Every structure is written in C-alpha cells, then in structure tokens.
Amino acid sequence: MKVTNQLKSIIIIIGITSAVFVSSCNAQNSPSKNGFDLSNASIPVEKILSGGPGKDGIPAIDHPVLVDKDQADFIKDSDRVLALTIGSVAKAYPINILNWHEIVNDKIGDQAFVVTYCPLCGTGAIFSADIRGRHSSFGVSGLLYNSDVLLYDDLTESLFSQILSKAVSGPLVGEHLKPLVSTHTTWGKWKELHPNTQILSTNTGYARDYTRNPYEGYASSRVLYFPVPSSTGSPGSFHPKETVVGLIDGNRIKAYPFSELNKNNQSSFKDLIAGKQYQIIWDGQNKSAQIKDENGQIIPTIQGFYFAWMAFYPDSEVYILK
C-alpha cells in the first residue's frame, strides 16, 4: 500500500503524541518526594520519609567563613567540633552550627569536601566532594532514611545516604562517597593539637541563634522522632543514644560504645577483627575515639548514636569489655 506524505505526517504526529503521553504518564507514576526522582531507589521508597522541611529548607553553608582560633569568641572549649586536617591545614566545624545547617561545602587547596552532620543520629562524617572527576556541592534534601539525613549533589540531584556513604537514588545510584579522616572532639582539645587551626564562624549569612540547640534534650532521651528497624537481639543493652564510633573496613564492621571504652580505661589497645588487627585510641576526657589499621594509618570512621549504627548495620559486631 502506498503511503502518502500526508499520511506519513499524521503517523509521525500520532507517534510523537503517544510518546509524550507515555513519558508524561511514567513521570506521574514515578515515585518522587521533595522533588527528587526515586524511580531507581536502591532502598525502600516507603521508608524514605520527610523530615519536615522541604528541599534546602535546612540551608547548607556554601560559602563558609573561617577565622583563626584567637577570633573564636563564639565557642567554648567544652563545645564539640567535627574537624579535619589536609596537609598542614586544619579546620574545625562547631556542632552548634552544624545542628542548624547539617552540611558545609568547603575545600583545602584542590581538595573539595563536604562536612555532614545529622542531629537526629548524632552522626558526623566528612567526604571528598570529587565524584567521577567533578567537584560537587551538596545540599539537604529534607528527606530521611532510618532517621538519617539524605543529602543531594547539585550536578545530578542524586540522593546520598550519609551513614551508608553512597547514592541511593538518581543518576549516581550506587556511587560511593570517599570518606576523609575526621575527628569529633572538643574545641579545647582540637586547638591544643592544632594551634594554627581555623574554625567555621557564626558569620554564615543566616540569622540563627547558634547558642541554642534546636534539639535540646534529644541526645539524652530514649525517644526517636522517626521509625527505624529494631536492633533487638544485638549484643549488650545500650541506650539508643549511646555514642559509638563505627568501623567499616571491607566486610569488617564493628561499633565501639563509648561507655565500654570508658570501662576499659585504656587510652590505646589492640583489637582483632576477622584476623586483622586494629588499634583503638580513646580520649575519655574529651569523649573522642580514633582507629588505626595494621600500618598505623588512621581509618575514616563515623561517630554517632548506637540506634542509628545498628539500624544500618544490624549484623555489626559490638565491642563489649569482658
């Protein structure tokens, strides 16, 4: 049968219209929350919950202003910081500020990184912002998984789980964030160890009362704001907000509760996990822990609440002093 040019045009128009209709239906049927496409999510979509604020409702700090320690009259020695060193440069980020912003995008030299903190899980971690050869900036999605913040990158708007340290939806799904060695300690101890350190100032560009904790009383309460999988059956009996330092090294996963480290009363001891030896360094006075591998290199860890660690790693070993 001979097809006229007019009929060809009609067929093409019908084809385009059908494609647009199907695409529109797929877009409408694709799961999304806070404007993020969850159609390829690697975690259960129904367990991705709104934390209340929308996308960027908790504003990340994209242009951090840091000052020398002698200008830091806005922080007490007993206040806590999440800090790191790269080369000879040391920087500290007050938890009092991170409680309000959760994310700081910063860099030292050519190393771009993102400072992350989730007040609901007490988890602080710093990651390289270099993904697939590109510098990324991150924001707060307003979404949670297992009560933990889901951050997103500005280039693809993929969602990243902080505790899993990888993308859980979007074009980068499955991509891992590279953790950097960080320290969660007191400001007094950090500046003693690093007298030339800089610290994030309260000149953030936002009107916030950084002397007030918006989660006052949460860390001592057994109450959780959002549901998480039960950790019933885990070894020991710990307060859900017990602070732990968590180690992930391949298939070796272990949590060290601070109460157990305190009982140990040793500033340094060895621990053998699946045939590999680690050195646990404990500062009881400043409630800070680090872990070194067999070569004496500090391993990136995540410090946070016990319930959060077990929600993500229910089969994790737990250090209990015998």
pLDDT of residue 29: 53
pTM: 0.89
* List of long-range contacts for 56-59, beta carbons under 8 Å, 24+ apart: 56/139, 56/140, 56/142, 57/140, 57/142, 58/100, 58/101, 58/102, 58/140, 58/142, 59/101, 59/140, 59/206
SS3 state at 260: helix
Nearest 10 degrees: Cα torsion 161, 163, 165, 166 = -30
- In the chain, where the domains are located: 46-200, 229-318
Strands, DSSP E only, in 235-307? 243-249, 252-257, 268-273, 276-283, 288-292, 298-299, 302-305
Question: CA 153 to CA 166: how far, in whole Å?
Answer: 11
Q: What pLDDT digit, counting tens, does each position of 283-309 carry?
A: 999 999 999 999 999 999 999 999 999
SS3 state at 83: strand
CA 187 to chain centre: 21
Q: Return mean pLDDT, the chain.
A: 90
Reading the chain (322 residues) residue by residue, the pLDDT tens digits are 334 444 333 333 334 333 333 333 334 456 899 999 999 999 999 999 999 999 999 999 999 999 999 999 999 999 999 999 999 999 999 999 999 999 999 999 999 999 999 999 999 999 999 999 899 999 999 999 999 999 999 999 999 999 999 999 999 999 999 999 999 999 999 999 999 999 999 999 999 999 999 999 999 999 999 999 875 444 557 999 999 999 999 999 999 999 999 998 899 999 999 999 999 999 999 999 999 999 999 999 999 999 999 999 999 999 998 8
Alpha helices in the chain (DSSP H): 5-29, 95-101, 187-193, 258-264, 306-312
CB 122 within 8 Å of CB 219 = yes
